[in-house]
């Protein structure tokens, strides 16, 4: 948003005492000299500017009419309030000061332990949001919210064991809390504090209710190591038992201590043996495990990719894939007998993605997301797996299924209006009356109340930081929760990003974004910096606020460089069908599309075609390494956290796209830049965290070795104690300086 000259002049005059802006006369009119962006204003922890403003955090629906909101301030780390959705009136629930005081009343609780608990903020709520569990000094405590009018909190200690408890989860009735300790599953009675073990024999190679590295990273969600699931009636717990003994370990070193500290993780690399899993159900009060019958699958060729319960707590709903993920089975399994019933099988011409659990309706039918047509859409099935009908179709995607209300409206988010945005929709169960609820173009993220009476809409576009509004279920605006005007953006010399489309050599329309220098002159020729990711279904061109990344691109543009972001077809988000061309071979199709984008740039009179650079991290780092070893289109490249040999990466991600190395050795070799180091063109900067436990430093070092043997010069920057991302604010500031300097050195020598 830009202020008018008059309004801008007045706001500057009011702030003139701070001497932040000076007044200049241009063509007889008084205008403001705008501030330049710097690495410090974007990233430095002591000097960075908040370019995204403030929106409510922790918005969580308590029921159909009230939600929980977390207010943060310098004085109070957090303040939880229960807010009436209609009126906005709020009732105090808990804040940091009250919780700290309540913790200090617990016998034996130290002030340092209480403060540490507040800093970590690892709260686990019970289903009714009347109590929460918190881990302090390796033990679990429960905090009862008590009388909200009196602002009282009651804290009780639940466990007393030197070993830490992890992954706590309340039973649906709130009476029990399950957790994992020493790789075994246990339960504690929340009221009485009585604890009992559910499993035994767990160790570093046998995990009960606990996921290993590859299962949490590639299947159940990064950072989610919880491998157990309560039944809806709180009577049973299903859990995965993971045998890690076949999995080879990988060692990571912390080089900063005088004596190196060694970290070892079980990490199956492509072609290696996966963990062996089996699925059991055990009574919550303890007893024998009933193992689910998955014997018709080969254990070494089986991935259990989703576990859920049927609403009646009688059956497990289990999704199973083969190792190379070319098919997916949906099964129900009787929790008492372990007997399996097959409901349906998903296949595609390439791989099958896991798209979530079935959504069960009151009549025992269920909704199911599928990519079978090449586009992700909603289908309805009977309980025995018979297809009833398709609810949505077309060359667009359903991204998230939110649920169904009592009137039969199905609420979801998708891309029917634009592939670079996200909108909120509803449709009837018979597929009629498809309605878009969100109005403004951009990206809408919705969170619906339990009965689908209201939803929060967090909206932004490429020029506007996030705003939050409350809507009725039919899309009618109800209240503005945060309009979030970030007026300081007007103080910086920012460009307006332009969305463009580029047609590839074979007719595919690719989405692109161009950021020109603020003082762009059509008569000049500018160098180009391209950011890429390029991985399957991973868009970078989005009509949404990009935060610090967007400001970094603006900073580059302010240096007189065009910023170019283009989504090759396999990264475009335009249906699964657009991703399938990478099957069995990474890099080739992606580079063809990227070079078609470069060809378009070279046709523009304002582009200096002799100075084009490319940058990316993770898959984008691979793509940069691949581009510089398979193309002469780029003057320079920055490859961060790069995969240089796909045999180095984990089984589940890599084999989904390439198959196993045993079945596709040529595909692995042709997809790996390491083996083409002698063909390096352009200046290369390699960046890696030395303790990256995802894409190991080994990738970069193998590439370095091949480049050195080939006599190729390059630059290398390592970040000690950093993982797959450089998250330490000081190191990240250094990283951004290094990147900017490298860009300027080689695009604007």
| Rounded Cα–Cα distance for residues 362 and 339 (Å) | 24
- Inter-CA distances, 357 with 237, 307, 322, 354, 401, Å: 17, 8, 18, 9, 10
Buried b (16+ CB within 10 A) or exposed e, 504-535: beeebebbbbbbbbbeeeeeeebbbbbbbbbb
Q: In what order do the strands lie in the sheet with 79-84?
A: 57-61, 66-71, 79-84, 90-95
| Rounded Cα–Cα distance for residues 739 and 684 (Å) | 11
Instruction: From the candidates 531, 692, 696, 746, give the one annotated as an active-site residue.
Output: 692
| Cβ-proximal residues to 599 (8 Å cutoff; 6+ apart), any chain | none
- Inter-CA distances, 28 with 6, 15, 489, Å: 14, 22, 25
Query: What are residue 309's phi and psi, to 5 degrees?
Result: -110, 150
Q: What is the dihedral of CA 205, 308, 324, 532, to 10 degrees?
A: -100
| Rounded Cα–Cα distance for residues 668 and 654 (Å) | 10
| Cβ-proximal residues to 608 (8 Å cutoff; 6+ apart), any chain | 525, 526, 527, 528
| Rounded Cα–Cα distance for residues 678 and 146 (Å) | 68
Q: Is residue 598 within 8 Å of 568, Cβ to Cβ? A: no
The closest alpha carbon to 82, from 95, 100, 73, belongs to: 95
DSSP, residue by residue, 455-501: EEEEEEETTEEEEEEEEETTS-EEEEEE----GGGGGB-----EEEE
Angle of helix 729-747 relative to helix 547-558, nearest 10 degrees, comes to: 30
Instruction: Assess whether 618 carries a catalytic annotation.
Output: yes
* Helix (H) or strand (E) segment spanning residue 548: helix 547-558
| Rounded Cα–Cα distance for residues 546 and 515 (Å) | 13
Q: Is residue 427 within 8 Å of 417, Cβ to Cβ? A: no
| Rounded Cα–Cα distance for residues 99 and 134 (Å) | 11
Q: What is the chain's alpha carbon radius of gyration, rounded to the nearest angstrom? A: 27
Instruction: From the candidates 310, 618, 671, 672, give the one annotated as an active-site residue.
Output: 618
| Cβ-proximal residues to 169 (8 Å cutoff; 6+ apart), any chain | 124, 177, 178, 179, 226, 228, 230
Instruction: Assess whether 65 carries a catalytic annotation.
Output: no
Q: What is the dihedral of CA 175, 181, 186, 187, to 10 degrees?
A: -10
Instruction: From the candidates 8, 183, 630, 724, give the one annotated as an active-site residue.
Output: 724
| Rounded Cα–Cα distance for residues 239 and 178 (Å) | 11
Q: Is residue 240 within 8 Å of 211, Cβ to Cβ? A: yes
The conformational region for residue 534 under phi > 0 = left, psi -120 to 50 = alpha, else beta, is left
CB-count exposure of residue 552 (10 Å: 0-12, 13-18, 19+): buried
* Helix (H) or strand (E) segment spanning residue 331: strand 327-334
Longest Cα pair distance anywhere in the chain, in angstroms? 87
| Rounded Cα–Cα distance for residues 274 and 299 (Å) | 10
Q: Is residue 307 within 8 Å of 315, Cβ to Cβ? A: no
Tell me the catalytic residues: 618, 692, 724
């Amino acid at each position: 948003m830009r202020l008018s000259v008059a309004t801008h002049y007045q706001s500057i005059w009011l702030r003139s005492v701070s001497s932040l802006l000076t007044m200049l006369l241009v063509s007889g009119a008084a205008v403001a000299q705008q501030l330049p962006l710097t690495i410090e204003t974007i990233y430095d922890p002591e000097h960075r500017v908040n370019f995204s403003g403030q929106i409510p955090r922790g918005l969580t629906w308590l029921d159909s009419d009230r939600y929980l909101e977390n207010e943060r301030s310098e004085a109070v780390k957090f303040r939880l309030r229960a807010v009436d959705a209609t009126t906005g009136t709020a009732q105090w629930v808990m804040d940091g000061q009250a919780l700290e005081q309540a913790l200090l009343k617990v016998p034996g609780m130290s002030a340092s332990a209480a403060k540490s608990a507040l800093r970590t903020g690892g709260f686990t709520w019970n289903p009714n949001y009347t109590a929460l569990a918190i881990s302090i000094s390796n033990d679990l405590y429960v905090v009862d919210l008590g009388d909200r009018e009196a602002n009282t909190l009651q804290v009780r200690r639940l466990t007393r064991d030197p070993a830490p408890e992890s992954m706590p989860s309340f039973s649906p009735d709130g009476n029990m809390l399950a957790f994992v300790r020493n790789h075994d599953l246990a339960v504690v009675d929340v009221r009485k504090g009585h604890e009992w073990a559910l499993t035994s024999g767990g160790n570093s190679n046998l995990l009960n209710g606990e996921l290993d590295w590859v299962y949490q990273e590639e299947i159940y969600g990064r950072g989610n190591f919880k491998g157990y699931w309560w039944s809806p009636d709180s009577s049973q717990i299903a859990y995965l038992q993971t045998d890690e003994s076949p999995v080879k370990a990988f060692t990571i070193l912390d080089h900063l201590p005088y004596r190196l500290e060694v970290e070892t993780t079980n990490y199956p690399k492509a072609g290696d043996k996966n963990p062996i899993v089996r699925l059991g159900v055990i009574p919550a009060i303890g007893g024998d495990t009933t193992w689910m019958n998955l014997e018709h699958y080969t254990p070494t060729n089986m991935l259990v990719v989703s576990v859920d319960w049927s609403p009646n707590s009688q059956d497990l709903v289990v999704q199973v894939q083969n190792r190379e993920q070319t098919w997916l089975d949906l099964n129900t399994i009787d929790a008492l007998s372990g007997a399996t019933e097959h409901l349906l099988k998903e296949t595609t011409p390439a791989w099958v993605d896991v798209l979530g659990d079935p959504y069960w309706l009151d009549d025992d039918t269920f909704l199911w997301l599928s990519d079978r047509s090449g586009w992700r859409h909603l289908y309805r099935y009977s309980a025995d797996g018979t297809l009833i009908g398709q609810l949505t179709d077309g060359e667009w995607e359903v991204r998230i299924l939110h649920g169904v209300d009592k009137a039969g409206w199905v609420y979801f988010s998708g891309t029917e209006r634009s592939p670079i945005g996200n909108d909120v929709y509803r449709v009837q169960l018979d597929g009629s009356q498809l309605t878009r609820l969100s109005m403004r173009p951009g990206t809408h993220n919705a969170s619906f109340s339990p009965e689908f009476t209201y939803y929060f809409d967090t909206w932004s576009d490429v020029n506007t930081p996030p705003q939050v509004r409350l809507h009725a279920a039919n899309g009618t605006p109800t209240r503005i929760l945060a309009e979030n005007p970030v007026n300081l953006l007007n103080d910086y010399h920012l460009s307006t990003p332009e969305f463009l489309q580029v047609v590839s050599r074979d007719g595919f329309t690719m989405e692109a974004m161009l950021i020109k220098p603020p003082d762009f002159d059509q008569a000049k020729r500018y160098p180009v910096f391209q950011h890429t990711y390029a991985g399957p279904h991973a868009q970078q061109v989005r009509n949404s606020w990009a935060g610090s990344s967007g400001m970094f691109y603006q900073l580059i543009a302010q240096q007189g460089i065009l910023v170019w972001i283009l989504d090759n077809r396999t990264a475009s988000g335009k249906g699964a069908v657009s991703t399938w061309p990478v099957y069995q071979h990474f890099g080739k199709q992606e580079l063809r599309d990227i070079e078609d984008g470069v060809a378009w740039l070279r046709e523009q009179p304002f582009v200096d075609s002799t100075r084009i650079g490319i940058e990316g991290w993770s898959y984008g780092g691979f793509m940069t390494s691949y581009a510089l070893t398979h193309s002469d289109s780029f003057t320079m490249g920055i490859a961060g956290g790069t995969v240089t040999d796909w045999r180095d990466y984990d089984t589940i991600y890599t084999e989904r796209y390439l198959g196993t190395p045993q079945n596709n050795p040529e595909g692995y070799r042709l997809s790996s830049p390491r083996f083409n180091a002698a063909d390096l063109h352009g200046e290369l900067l390699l960046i890696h965290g030395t303790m990256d436990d995802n894409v190991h430093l080994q990738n970069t070092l193998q590439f370095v070795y091949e480049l050195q043997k080939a006599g190729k010069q390059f630059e290398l920057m390592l970040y000690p104690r950093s993982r797959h991302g450089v998250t330490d604010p000081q190191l990240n500031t250094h990283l951004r300086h290094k990147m900017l300097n490298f860009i300027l050195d080689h695009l604007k020598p």
